[in-house]
Homo-oligomer: A and B are copies of this chain.
């Protein structure tokens, strides 16, 4: 049974996955997936995953059989479990919580070798619709405070399967980094009576040196204080705190800007490992005026992370102005 534990110094919650506990010998080097290896996300292997929660498939096709173009399933090895009763308890001076929550997998394409940077924009739109559908459904659970949508691309970014997929984790608490953004944005709002993200968009459009892509409704930038080389954020230009409110035109433009931004990274940096994370407001409604949803793409190019992890102090060897120049310079 997974358990959430709170660090008594920083109040940071950690998921301790007690069920599938790893022993020292389990940490050996994992080889890259071999060609032709069995893949649970391929057509015909649907029976090897837990039954699908959502699938975009022709009306006449059967659930858990081929024909789908997007498929969402519970994670077979979940970090959190929906079946648990949410309960807080103490352990001496420490605080803990049952590992209640949801952990789902969005299989982004039936094509084992496809990568979203190079696939049809239409497919990315569908992926975003799947994100929205699951977001709305999970937000209805009153025990859930936050829904985090993210993607690990390639093994060096934490992907354990090569077949293109993203993940959704719904938690009974707001993750620390999101809470920091919420609190920081709230402080800025109190001082300026404006959204800090809206101000960033204004400043970036004025300077025009860190913009990667721009449409009527979306912008993608290399942020001024980028932690990582080629870090790229995508933001809706109009103030919206809640990703769940995304509409049809926005989905189209978000797909365009996401695809183009990823393709520029793919071409400039030779299809690097990356993570992306969607930061939206908590499902509790907090941050309506001050928060602004966005997606952060972090290419995994450097290994210097241990120091950064431990100190929160980042050293970025590529100024974002240079990164934007390189990214805009490639033909797509």
Q: What residues make up the interface of A, taking CB atoms closer than 8 Å to B?
A: 5-18, 20-24, 26-27, 79, 91-94, 148, 150, 152, 155-158, 167, 169, 171, 175-181, 184-185, 188, 196-197, 199-200, 203, 206-207, 223-227, 229-230, 268-270, 272, 274-275, 277, 296, 298, 300-307, 309-320, 322, 326
Q: Please name all residues of chain B whose beta carbon is closer than 8 Å to the beta carbon of A200 when the two chains form the complex.
A: 8-9, 93
Assess whether A306 is in contact with B14, with CB atoms less than 8 Å apart: no
Assess whether B24 is in contact with A268, with CB atoms less than 8 Å apart: yes
Assess whether A313 is in contact with B27, with CB atoms less than 8 Å apart: no
5 tightest Cβ-Cβ pairs between the two chains A and B: A275-B306, A176-B312, A177-B312, A277-B310, A175-B313
Given contacts A15-B315, A225-B94, contact A275 B310 (CB under 8 A): yes
Q: Please name all residues of chain B whose beta carbon is closer than 8 Å to the beta carbon of A8 when the two chains form the complex.
A: 184, 188, 196, 199-200, 224-225
Assess whether A175 is in contact with B326, with CB atoms less than 8 Å apart: no
**9 intermolecular pairs with C-beta atoms under 8 Å apart:** A14-B226, A24-B230, A92-B207, A157-B306, A158-B306, A175-B313, A176-B311, A176-B313, A275-B307
Q: Please name all residues of chain B whose beta carbon is closer than 8 Å to the beta carbon of A158 when the two chains form the complex.
A: 302-307
- Give the residue name and chain of the B residue nearest to A224 (CB): B94
Assess whether A326 is in contact with B223, with CB atoms less than 8 Å apart: no
- Give the residue name and chain of the B residue nearest to A15 (CB): B315
Assess whether A10 is in contact with B181, with CB atoms less than 8 Å apart: yes
Given contacts A9-B181, A157-B306, A303-B158, contact A203 B94 (CB under 8 A): yes
Q: Please name all residues of chain B whose beta carbon is closer than 8 Å to the beta carbon of A156 when the two chains form the complex.
A: 303
Assess whether A224 is in contact with B316, with CB atoms less than 8 Å apart: no
- Give the residue name and chain of the B residue nearest to A300 (CB): B306
- Taken together as a complex, chains A and B put the C-alpha atoms of A196 and B155 apart, in Å, by 38
| CB of A241 to closest CB in B, whole Å | 13
Max count, chain B CB within 10 A of own CB: residue among A8, A150, A206, A225: A225
Assess whether A311 is in contact with B150, with CB atoms less than 8 Å apart: yes
| CB of A320 to closest CB in B, whole Å | 8
| CB of A99 to closest CB in B, whole Å | 10
- Taken together as a complex, chains A and B put the C-alpha atoms of A320 and B13 apart, in Å, by 15
| CB of A312 to closest CB in B, whole Å | 3
Assess whether B23 is in contact with A301, with CB atoms less than 8 Å apart: no
| CB of A263 to closest CB in B, whole Å | 14
Q: Please name all residues of chain B whose beta carbon is closer than 8 Å to the beta carbon of A226 when the two chains form the complex.
A: 14, 16
